[in-house]
Amino acid sequence: MGLVNANIERMAGYTPGEQPEKLSVIKLNTNENPYPPSPRVLTAIASVTAERLRRYPSPDARAFRMVAAKVHGVDPDWIMATNGGDELLSIVFRACLAPGDRVAFLDPGYSLYPVLATLQNAQAVTLNYQVRDTDWNLPPEIFTVDARLLLLVNPNAPSGTLIGMSTLVQILRSFRGVVLVDEAYVDFAPASALPLVKSFENLVILRSMSKGYGLAGLRFGYAIAQKPLLIELNKVRDSYPCDIVAITAASAALEDQEYARSIWGRVIEHRTQLTEALVAMGFSVPPSFSNFVLAAVPAGASAAQLYARLKARDILVRYFALPGLEDKLRITVGTRAENQSLIRAIGEILSADSKNLHGVT
């Protein structure tokens, strides 16, 4: 018998995107915000005193919950702060799933979900998006699936597509277990499930400070849900999931909505330009409501090779060697300059390839 559980020994574990040490790399592979956090964040971090560091932080990140409650118009008891959105996912899986229980999610989706299901010895029920050209349609089983937990990434990763609110209501009405709507990318989208939380006691909304607020390095996320469900989820979390520096910084970032909205607007503008430039080069790209695009390479090109050749030029994008994604690259929307460098590099690589193909040296 091994030292750890058999399900752990058998599994591969989650593979995060590459995080190169070199800061000069054009990094469009893990959907970070291309802009820094609000200037108020660094001031807030500098205000943390030695006395505050000596003591344990608030176990439930009270200061942050007060800010989040005000920003979202809910009671502070409807907010639970976590060490990144990923910790919230781990809490929900542990709270809702006993070994053998069914957990449903859409595919392609967030590749952490199957890993968490295996860790929990739960049964993963994969619902396949019906992908036709650039349309990502929901499978009909989504309205009838029987499971303890259903996860919906909205806007979806890696497609960037959005499930409309009326469809979401239909799903919430038909599903009996907990529905987690993963809104890690919602800041770049026109709609959120937030207004639904008052009507559905089984709804948990995941929010992250990593993307919209430029704080991936901080590790801060939170749940929005009704109080009775959060009382249960709070029993599962660590005693002090968020440190004092993170609580102070995340509170300052969330409070500065004016700054946050200004960077979301810029990312959305660049997303349109990036999509147009890729389409002009022959890629097909579903309309994205997120801070990345999923681009299928032009006929005859190889996504894996393009990924490798961009990497050789210090431009990182994400390639998933998975069914349905082998011909696609997921590209984070960067600054205008980063996007232009990417487009220039892709243009050079593709035109060199087509010359080779036609025997021109």
Pick one of 84, 177, 241, 334: the residue that binds ligand PLP (CB under 6 A).
84
Pick one of 85, 212, 241, 286: the residue that binds ligand PLP (CB under 6 A).
85
Question: Cα 328 to the chain's mean position, in Å?
Answer: 18
User: Are the CB atoms for 31 and 292 separated by under 8 Å?
Assistant: yes
Output the smallest distance, CB 15 to ligand PLP, in A: 12
Select 333 or 345, whichever has its Cβ closest to ligand PLP: 333
On the 0-12 / 13-18 / 19+ scale of CB atoms within 10 A, 293 is: buried
- For position 221 contacting ligand PLP by CB under 6 A, the verdict is yes
Select 29 or 275, whichever has its Cβ closest to ligand PLP: 29
Q: Which window, 83-91, 259-267, 276-284, 293-301, contacts ligand PLP (CB under 6 A)?
A: 83-91
Pick one of 60, 86, 187, 243: the residue that binds ligand PLP (CB under 6 A).
86
Pick the closest to residue 333 from 284, 286, 291 (CA basis): 291
Select 163 or 216, whichever has its Cβ closest to ligand PLP: 216
- For position 208 contacting ligand PLP by CB under 6 A, the verdict is yes
Pairing of strands 292-296, 203-208: unpaired
For residues 267-296, which are near ligand PLP according to CB under 6 A? none
* Residue 98 DSSP symbol: -
- For position 90 contacting ligand PLP by CB under 6 A, the verdict is no
Categorise residue 316: left if φ over 0, alpha if ψ from -120 to 50, beta otherwise.
Answer: beta
User: Are the CB atoms for 178 and 218 separated by under 8 Å?
Assistant: no
Ordered DSSP codes for 231-280: HHHHTTS-SS-S-HHHHHHHHHHHH-HHHHHHHHHHHHHHHHHHHHHHHH
Size of the site for ligand PLP (CB under 6 A): 13
- For position 157 contacting ligand PLP by CB under 6 A, the verdict is yes
Select 206 or 274, whichever has its Cβ closest to ligand PLP: 206
The answer for residues whose C-beta is within 8 angstroms of residue 340's C-beta and 6 or more apart is: none
Pairing of strands 135-137, 130-132: antiparallel
The single residue listed with the structure tokens 């299928």 is 296
Select 106 or 216, whichever has its Cβ closest to ligand PLP: 216
Peptide bond into 158 cis (omega under 30): yes
Q: What is the CA radius of gyration of the chain?
A: 21
Pick the closest to residue 180 from 158, 196, 164 (CA basis): 196
Select 309 or 328, whichever has its Cβ closest to ligand PLP: 328
Number of H helices, E strands in the chain: 12, 13
Select 211 or 270, whichever has its Cβ closest to ligand PLP: 211
Select 193 or 216, whichever has its Cβ closest to ligand PLP: 216
For residues 15-54, which are near ligand PLP according to CB under 6 A? 31
Pick one of 110, 129, 213, 319: the residue that binds ligand PLP (CB under 6 A).
110
For residues 120-139, which are near ligand PLP according to CB under 6 A? none
Pick one of 184, 244, 277, 316: the residue that binds ligand PLP (CB under 6 A).
184
Q: Which window, 80-88, 240-248, 256-264, 301-309, contacts ligand PLP (CB under 6 A)?
A: 80-88
Output the smallest distance, CB 157 to ligand PLP, in A: 4
- Kindly state the tokens that stand for 334: 């960067």
Q: Mapping DSSP to helix (H, G, I), strand (E, B) and coil, where does residue 195 land?
A: helix
Select 110 or 320, whichever has its Cβ closest to ligand PLP: 110
- For position 182 contacting ligand PLP by CB under 6 A, the verdict is yes
Q: Which residues are near ligand PLP by CB under 6 A? A: 31, 84-86, 110, 153, 157, 182, 184, 208, 210, 216, 221
